[in-house]
Amino acid sequence: MDENDFLAERFEEHRARLRAVAYRMLGSSGEADDAVQEAWLRLSRSDADAVENLGGWLTTVVARVCLNMLRSHETRREDPWDAHRPEPAADREDIADPEHQALLADSVGLALLVVLDTLTPAERLAFVLHDMFAVPFDEIAPVVERTPAATRQLASRARRRVQGAQTAPETDVTRQREVVDAFLAASRGGDFDALLALLDPDVVLRADSAAVRSGAGAARGAQAVAHTFAGRAQAAQPAIINGAAGLVWAPGGQPRVIFGFTIASDGRIVAIDIVADPEGVGRLDLEVLSG
């Protein structure tokens, strides 16, 4: 085995974890693969023998690549989230096992993926690396060009926003379908009052970056969300998305946009998540229903 083959073999030992980090950072399988490939190119051009901790070095490289990609995204689109991001007071300090998180990274929940997309690039990096992969703040700090204390604050703000999107959901799929079907009927019929009755007063409408680029926007509060959907959703169809009731726009039978609903135990909709990224849509377990 020559030196390059040996280096490639060492890199492959870390590929799954690197891809997990990149996918959590970027929310796109294609971009995650690009980031991992860039890490390999940088490794192949470096003095690998001088690297004491190859896994840590590669994680840092992937993080830097992802951060640059996220910042590039920010310059290419207008981000409507700043005025709508929730700021709950809850906090937590528990950190999931990093190896377990790496294995689960390809099954990121729909709501979490969209919420991560609302964070600033630096917040997202700090949260993903620290809370999901247990990377110490003193190792993250140089990547985001902040002190460890400031990096800790980035992760804390991100954690509060992520937790603010969590709620006690309605788990009865039959009940979920009743609520979503009623929402679809009210939306198609332009029944503003019916929409208000279905929405929690503090309901949040979120959209991933692909949906934003297509013209979707964020909204918060029943009035704003009802105005967004009144008279629309004419081509949407009911669907079961990752085991929960939702809606899908699938022209020609090809799913293009997913509408995920978080429904509280009182039957009101507390969040609607719009996913239009092709990679994200393609990874969902989707069953289109008649209606």
Q: Is the pLDDT of residue 246 over 80?
A: yes
Let me know: does 142 contact 166? Beta carbons within 8 Å: no
CATH entry, 173-288, from 3.60.10.10, 3.40.50.300, 3.10.450.50, 2.40.50.140: 3.10.450.50
Sign of dihedral through CA atoms 163, 164, 170, 175?
Answer: negative
**Average pLDDT across the chain, whole number:** 81
Which fold would CATH assign to domain 3-164? Answer: Butyryl-CoA Dehydrogenase, subunit A; domain 3 (1.20.140)
Tens digit of each residue's pLDDT (9 = 90 or more) over 46-103: 887 788 899 999 999 999 999 999 888 765 544 333 333 322 222 333 334 444 443 3
Q: Which bin fits 100, alpha (ψ -120 to 50), beta or left (φ > 0)?
A: alpha
- What does pTM read for this prediction? 0.55
Q: Residue 148: is it exposed, middle or buried by C-beta count within 10 angstroms (0-12/13-18/19+)? A: middle
Residue ranges in the chain assigned as alpha helix (H): 3-26, 29-44, 54-76, 98-104, 110-117, 121-127, 137-144, 148-164, 173-189, 192-198, 209-213, 222-229, 278-282
List the domain boundaries for the chain: 3-164, 173-288
Tens digit of each residue's pLDDT (9 = 90 or more) over 115-128: 777 788 999 999 99
Q: How many CA atoms lie within 13 A of 118 on its CB side?
A: 31
Higher pLDDT, 215 or 103: 215
CA distance 101 to 112: 14
